[in-house]
Amino acid sequence: MSSIEVETIQEEAEVLAFDLWDTLLNREATLVPALSALLNDHGSDYDPEILLRRYLAMHFRDSMIDSLIPGPHTPFKEISRRALSYRLKQIDLDVPDEEVRDVIRQWKMLQPYPDVDAALDRLGEEYKLVGLSNGDPDMLDAVRPNFDTELDGVVSVADAGAYKPHRASYDLCCEEFDVAAHQVVFVTAHTFDLVGAKAIGMRGAFLNRHENPYGSWIHQPDITVADTEELANVLTS
C-alpha cells in the first residue's frame, strides 16, 4: 500500500470498527480448555481443538442461514448452543444442555490478545474505537471491561437483525456514529466480514493473525497487517 493511500485513509477515517471474536479477543485460549474439560468429563479423547474448529464452522453456517431466511434474528448464544450440541452428538456424546450452555457462557470471558491493549491506547488518540460484532448485546457488555482501553461504543448485529456480512450491521454502525462508510476502517481477522464492509464502501484492514490467504474476492483489504501493533504503526502519525 502506498504512502499516499495511507495518508488518504488517515485523513478521512474517523472510526475504527473492530470485529471482536478472534480479532481482538482470543477465542482459543478460553474455549479450547473449556471444551477439553467437557470432553474429559464425558470420557472422550476427542481433540478439543478439532472440536472447536468444527463447532465454529457449524455456528458460522447456521448464522448465515439465519440471516437469509425470513423471521426474527436468532441470538448468537442460541446459534452457538445448537452448533455445539450438534457436533457433540456427531461424536456420540450425550451431553446435558446445561453443560453445553456452560461452555457457551465462556464467550463472555474472552481476553484480548497480548498486542491489543497497547495498540488500542495509541489508536484511541486519533480515532473512535468501536466493536462491531456478531455477538449478542449482553456478551459485548461482558467483554468490554476486559480491555484496558475503553471502547467508544459497541454495535451488535442483534440490533440490526442480521449477522455480518449482511449490510444491516455496517449501516447501523455508520448511523450510530454519524459517519459515512468511507470514514470507517473495519478491522478483522476474517475474510467474510471484511468483504461485507468493503462492499458497502468502508475501508478494510485485514488483521492476518493466522497467516491465512485472504482470497480472490473483488473486495480486497486496503491494509494488511499481522496484528494490532502493526495496525497502529500504519494508522497513527
Q: Which of 18, 4, 3, 11 is nearest to 119 (CA)?
A: 18
120 in the same domain as 11: yes
pLDDT, position 3? 62
User: Maximum CA pair distance of the chain?
Assistant: 58
Residue 69 sits in a domain of what CATH number? 1.10.150.240
203 in the same domain as 98: no
Whether the Cβ atoms of residue 229 and residue 119 lie closer than 8 Å to each other: yes
55 in the same domain as 154: no
Q: Which of 109, 128, 147 is the last residue of a domain?
A: 109
Domain that holds residue 102: 27-109
Reading the block at residue 89, the C-alpha cell is: 452428538
- The string of pLDDT tens digits covering residues 12-26 is 999 999 999 999 999
- The string of pLDDT tens digits covering residues 32-67 is 999 999 999 999 999 999 999 999 999 999 999 999
Number of domains in the chain: 2
- Rounded distance between C-alpha atoms, residue 116 and residue 111, angstroms: 10
pLDDT, position 219? 97
83 in the same domain as 128: no
89 in the same domain as 175: no
Q: Which of 109, 125, 145 is the last residue of a domain?
A: 109
Reading the block at residue 84, the C-alpha cell is: 455445539
229 in the same domain as 131: yes
Whether the Cβ atoms of residue 95 and residue 38 lie closer than 8 Å to each other: yes
Residue 186 sits in a domain of what CATH number? 3.40.50.1000
Instruction: Give the strand pairing for 15-18 and 184-188.
Output: parallel
- Cα–Cα distances (Å) from 49 to 36, 54, 165, in that order, read 8, 9, 26
125 in the same domain as 64: no
Reading the block at residue 128, the C-alpha cell is: 473512535
Q: Which of 109, 129, 148 is the last residue of a domain?
A: 109
- Residue numbers of the chain with a pLDDT score lower than 70: 1-4
Whether the Cβ atoms of residue 223 and residue 1 lie closer than 8 Å to each other: yes
pLDDT, position 207? 97
